[in-house]
């Protein structure tokens, strides 16, 4: 494979998966943090 094919089929999908999983992880963590805050009375 050429360098471009390696980039297109390996590096690009891995980077997209890494960014997507990181975004989902931080989104879930922020949602959990919102739920853990007790309602102010």
What beta strand segments (E) does the chain contain?
none
Give the Cα separation of 31 and 29 in Å (integer): 5
- Per-residue pLDDT of the chain (41 residues), as tens digits, is 798 998 899 999 999 999 999 999 999 999 888 887 666 76
Q: Which pTM was predicted?
A: 0.57
d(C-alpha 17, C-alpha 40), whole Å: 38
Q: What is the pLDDT of residue 41?
A: 63
């Amino acid at each position: 494979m050429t360098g471009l094919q390696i980039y297109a089929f390996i590096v690009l999908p891995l980077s997209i998966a890494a960014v997507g999983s990181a975004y989902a992880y931080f989104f879930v963590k922020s949602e959990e943090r919102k739920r853990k805050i007790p309602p102010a009375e």
